[in-house]
Amino acid sequence: MSVSINDNPQSTNGHTADASHSLANSYPSNSIDWLTRLMGFNTVSRYSNLALIEDVQAYCQALGLQPTLTHNIEHTKANLFVTVPAGAAQEIVSGGVVLSGHTDVVPVDGQDWDSDPFAATIRGDKLYGRGACDMKGFIACALSIVPEAVRLSNAGKLKRPLHLALSFDEEVGCLGAPLILADLAERGITPDYCIVGEPTSMSMVVAHKGISVYRCRVHGKSAHSSLTAQGVNAISYASQLVGYVDSLAERISRRDDVDALFDVPYSTLSVGTIKGGTATNIVPNLCEFTFDYRNLPHMTQDDILVPIEEKIAELRATMQARAPETDIELLQEESVPAMTDADSAALQTLVAGLIDDDARHKVGYATEGGQFTNAGIPTIICGPGSIEQAHKANEFVPLDDMTRCDAFLARLLTHCQADA
C-alpha cells in the first residue's frame, strides 16, 4: 500500500520579513513533513530553486532569524545562509557548526517511476521521490530543529551558533557554494565545522576525491582522403593523445601513495566521449574528446596536467610543421576540489560520539565538502539515505534513516549548548 503526501508548498511563497510567529507554526514541525514539503518543489538543476529558497527564507524570518541570500548572475537561483546566534546577548555568529545541503536535484527524464517523483510517497518503511536522499532528506531534518535552536538561543542557552547553508547547482558542478563561502569571508563569519548531509546511510565520510573534467579539441586540416599528405588528420592526432591519457592513467594507478580507505585507492583518469570527422573520404579537420580526473586529496591537477600539456606541445609541433594553422586546445569544464581529512580530527571525534559509530569512510564521488575544507572549515559528510539510491528512478530514503538523522542533529544541538 502506498500513501502520497503532498501539501502543495508552492502556495506558501511570498511571505514578508515581518511574518509573525503564527506563520512559523503553519510550517511543518517534523522532518518527514518537511521532506514532503521540500519535494513538492521541482528544483531540477535546469530550473529555478527560488520558490523553495523563498519558502525557507519566510520560515526563518517568522522565527526571528535573518537569512542571507546570494544569487547567480541571472538572479534565477539563490543560496540561503542563516545563523541561529549564540551567547546570552544572541550576538555570537562566528564559530559553531554549519549544516550544509544542496537544493537542486537531478532530472527524472527517461526514468520509469512507480509514483510521482515530485510528490513524497511512503511505501512500507521508505519514502520515495526525487531528492528523497539526495539531499532534501537532510535539509528536512535540519529545518525541523531550527525552532528548538531558536528557543535555546532566545533563552541564552546556546553557547555555539548553528548555521544552515542551502545551495544551488551542486549537481552541475558545485556552482552555488563558493558564493556562500565568499559572502561569509566578506562578513567575517568563521564557522568551526561543517557537516554536509549527502546520503551516507548515517555513517561518517571523512574525505572524498576531487573531480576535474576537461575537453580537448584537436584542429587539423581537411583534404581529400586520396591526398592525405595535404591534410592533417585530427582524429589520428587525437587518438595519440587519448592513448597517452590511458597510459598516464595506468601509471597513476601504480603509484605508491595510495589510500586504502577509498574503494578505488588511487587517482583515476578516464576518457569519456569522443567525436570527429565528416566522411570516410575526407581527412578530418576536427576531433574532440573529454576526460575526467578523480584525484586523491593529496594529489593535484598538475599531476596530470603537466605531462598532458607536454604531450600536447609535442603533438602540436608535429602538426604545425605540416600546417601552421592547426592546433590543440585543452579546456577545463568542471573542477570540484577534493575534501581532505587533514584538519577534521576533532570534528570526526565529535560526530563519532553523536552517531555512536567511529568508522571512517572515504568516497570517490565529490561534494561541496571540498569547497568548505578549501575555505579552512573542517568538514565531514553524514546524512540519511544511501548514495546507491541517488539519481535513480524510485529514489528513496529509509524512514529509519530520517529518525537517526533527527536524533543525530538533536545531539548536535545539545553539544552547541555545552561550554566551549
The reply to whether the predicted model has a pTM over 0.85 is yes
Q: Count other Cβ atoms within 10 Å, centred on residue 16.
A: 9
Here the cell at position 120 is: 513524497
Q: Are strands 120-123 and 282-283 parallel, antiparallel or unpaired?
A: unpaired
Three-state secondary structure string covering 207-218: EECEEEEEEEEE
Q: What is the pLDDT of residue 15?
A: 36
Q: How far apart are CA 297 and CA 299, in angstroms?
A: 6
Domain range list for the chain: 2-207+338-415, 210-336
Q: Which CATH superfamily is domain 2-207+338-415 in?
A: Zn peptidases (3.40.630.10)
Per the CB < 8 A criterion, the answer to whether 209 and 336 are in contact is no
The CATH classification number of 210-336 equals 3.30.70.360
Among the listed residues 104, 169, 341, 401, the single catalytic one is 104
Q: How far apart are CA 76 and CA 310, in angstroms?
A: 41
Among the listed residues 54, 55, 169, 170, the single catalytic one is 170
- Active-site residue, 104 included: yes
Q: How far apart are CA 137 and CA 38, in angstroms?
A: 9
Here the cell at position 157 is: 542557552
- Active-site residue, 357 included: no
Contacts of residue 376, defined as CB under 8 A and 6 or more positions apart, other chains included, come to 190
pLDDT in tens, the chain (420 residues): 333 344 444 433 333 334 345 556 789 989 999 999 999 999 999 999 999 999 999 999 999 999 999 999 999 999 999 999 999 889 999 999 999 999 999 999 999 999 999 999 999 999 999 999 999 999 999 999 999 999 999 999 999 999 999 999 999 999 999 999 999 999 999 999 999 999 999 999 999 999 999 999 999 999 999 999 999 999 999 999 999 999 999 999 999 999 999 999 999 999 999 999 999 999 999 999 999 999 999 999 999 999 999 999 999 999 999 999 999 999 999 999 999 999 999 999 999 999 999 999 999 999 999 999 999 999 999 999 999 999 999 999 999 999 999 999 999 999 999 876
Here the cell at position 348 is: 570526526
Q: What is the pLDDT of residue 23?
A: 56
Could you tell me the CA-to-CA distances from 168 to 173, 210, 244, 260, 369 in Å, in that order?
10, 19, 36, 33, 14
Per the CB < 8 A criterion, the answer to whether 102 and 171 are in contact is yes
DSSP state of 337: P
Which element (helix H / strand E) includes 43? none
